[in-house]
């Protein structure tokens, strides 16, 4: 589910195996920012008209914007490669998957996302950034991240970078709803290897927006819905990030309660 090929002259050089084990007891540092925003009528657009009555309102449909920043030096001066994210939504949050157009697993896994139905887009293109390796050289790269609705109620995240490496990645988010809490997303993150023997890529930044809605008669059906009640101090949101080093880092945040 991943394909990476270099576009640098470094391909002609011998690749050095660096051997970058994580430092004992070391773990990346992670920050998380989350906010609820109105749902655009065109989910693939980051701007334009939005559905009235959506966004940061109690009991309302919403898009969720999440931003992770990861730092560390335990992997050759950079964070250990990210391998998974578990995202916990506040108690009372709702997820509606019925009625949304999906893109087939076969198309997504072939990376031919241009063949996905337009209505299967689950949000505008986000962004991810990090470091990739070419032998002993580490360089920064930025990727676009596009969410899609996938069959089975899953979310797919297609990431693509073009320079200095050509990278295509597909991550799938699978949801569970444990008793007494909101939906929980479990996302597997593929490792990125640019050339044989080089260290894996390190993720330093992810920013994505997920959500969509459609009209069913006179009723608006939203993919995500904010809880009807907000605890004092804000909505508790938690994420667990798993790294190649074996470390799991837990980060929390509390988006403020909507103004009445």
CA dist., res. 75 & res. 253, Å (int)? 26
Express each pLDDT in 131-141 by its tens digit: 998 767 889 99
Taking the CA atoms of the chain, what radius of gyration do you get in angstroms?
19
**Tokens 């990861």 found at:** 70
List the domain boundaries for the chain: 2-7+30-253
**Tokens 């929980």 found at:** 184
Q: Are the beta carbons of 135 and 198 closer than 8 angstroms?
A: yes
CA dist., res. 249 & res. 241, Å (int)? 5
pLDDT above 70 coverage of the chain, percent: 90
Check whether 22 has a pLDDT greater than 50: no
Which band of pLDDT confidence, cut at 50, 70 and 90, is reported for residue 164? confident
- For 144, the token pair is 């676009």
Maximum alpha-carbon separation in the chain: 63
How much is the average pLDDT of 96-112? 94
């Amino acid at each position: 589910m991943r394909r990476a090929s270099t576009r640098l002259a470094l391909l002609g050089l011998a690749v050095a195996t660096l051997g970058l084990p994580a430092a004992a007891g070391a773990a990346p540092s992670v920050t998380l920012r989350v906010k609820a925003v109105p749902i655009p009528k065109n989910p693939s657009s980051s701007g334009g008209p939005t559905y009235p009555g959506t966004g940061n309102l109690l009991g309302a449909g919403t898009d969720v914007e999440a931003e992770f920043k990861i730092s560390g030096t335990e992997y050759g001066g950079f964070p250990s490669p990210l391998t998974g994210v578990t995202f916990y939504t506040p108690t009372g949050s709702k997820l509606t998957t019925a009625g949304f157009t999906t893109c087939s697993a076969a198309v997504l896994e072939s990376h031919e996302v241009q063949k996905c139905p337009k209505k299967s887009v689950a949000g505008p293109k986000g962004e991810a950034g990090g470091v990739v390796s070419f032998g002993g050289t580490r360089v920064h790269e930025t990727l676009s991240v596009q969410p899609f609705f996938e069959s089975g109620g899953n979310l797919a995240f297609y990431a693509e970078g073009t320079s200095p490496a050509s990278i295509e990645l597909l991550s799938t988010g699978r949801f569970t709803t444990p008793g007494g809490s909101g939906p929980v997303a479990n996302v597997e993150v593929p490792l990125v290897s640019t050339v044989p023997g080089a260290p894996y890529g390190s993720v330093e930044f992810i920013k994505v927006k997920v959500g969509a809605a459609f009209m069913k008669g006179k009723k608006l059906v939203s993919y995500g819905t904010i809880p009807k009640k907000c605890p004092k101090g804000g909505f508790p949101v938690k994420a667990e990030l798993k790294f190649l080093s074996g470390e799991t880092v837990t980060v929390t945040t509390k988006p403020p309660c909507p103004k009445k």
